[in-house]
Amino acid sequence: MLVLAIDTSGREGSLALAHAELAPSPEPGGLAILQKSDLLELVALTGRMYSAELIPQLTAALGRRQLEKHALDALVAASGPGSFTGLRVGLSTVKGLAEILHKPIAAVSVLEAIARMAGRVGRVVSVLDAGRSQVFVGEYEFGDDYSPLEKRESLVPLEQWIGNVSDSGAEVRRHGSLFVTPDENVVAVAAARGCALQLVCAPKADLYARIGLEKILRGETVSPERLEANYIRASDAEIFSLPKLSR
């Protein structure tokens, strides 16, 4: 099974080609089991250049492996939150390929991918700088197979979130939550308030490929017409187009 994953959610992006070996389920009618996956290509994409780079880089990556786009078996997209323009480029590319190739799509939350960078099951909270003194927060409870048993994502003022975490320290310790972020500035602000966050690397397309494949094997796919960006926050255009209250 050949999987293509695309991440254009942030300032820098990437695409990955991965080959997965599957085994049939031991139960009749059960889902296939992932035996192993091998990363074939991981290509960096330059922020603000996604629309110019994405298709040429994908074509080159397939060419290096002597593959055609019709060899792709599944598509994975980082669905946000993140850059409005960047997400549109990546998602429109996945939509177009899926419509042409008739292949399944898995949408993967950026916050879930950050939480997976912690490499542990149980309760993990991922935090992503959203600008404007706000953070995106993803709260997850991962089972033994890393499938999210619980999931909640929100946009919160940074100071408010740090205050909530600091005030509920006993509850946090009881639940064994791990807080992770790829943003050094969030770590610094939280540390100044006595709140510890673990710094993790920003996820790349190879991790999105892995998570997306797991979702596809669980039947968690989305059609091209229903694939949408998970912005969490409204765009500036939407905010400024809201009708003003009359005085």
> 60-93: per-residue pLDDT in tens?
999 999 999 999 999 999 999 999 999 999 999 9
Its CATH architecture, for the domain 2-109+203-240, is 2-Layer Sandwich (3.30)
2-109+203-240 and 118-199 have identical folds: yes
- Tens digits of residue pLDDT in 6-33: 999 999 999 999 999 887 777 776 667 6
d(CA 164, CA 156): 10
d(CA 238, CA 226): 20
Q: Are strands 134-142 and 148-157 parallel, antiparallel or unpaired?
A: antiparallel
- Residue among 124, 168, 129, 127 nearest 150 (CA): 124
pLDDT average, residue stretch 183-209: 93
- Tens digits of residue pLDDT in 155-182: 999 999 988 887 655 445 445 789 999 9
Q: Where are the domains of the chain?
A: 2-109+203-240, 118-199
For the chain, what is the mean pLDDT?
89
pLDDT recorded at residue 193? 86
Check pLDDT > 60 for residue 216.
yes
pTM, entire model: 0.90
d(CA 24, CA 30): 8
Strand order across the beta sheet in which 178-181 lies: 148-157, 134-142, 122-131, 178-181, 198-199
Best-predicted range by mean pLDDT (15-29, 205-219, 224-238) = 205-219
d(CA 234, CA 223): 23
In terms of DSSP H, where are the helices of 168-240? 169-175, 184-192, 205-217, 236-240
CATH number assigned to the domain covering 118-199: 3.30.420
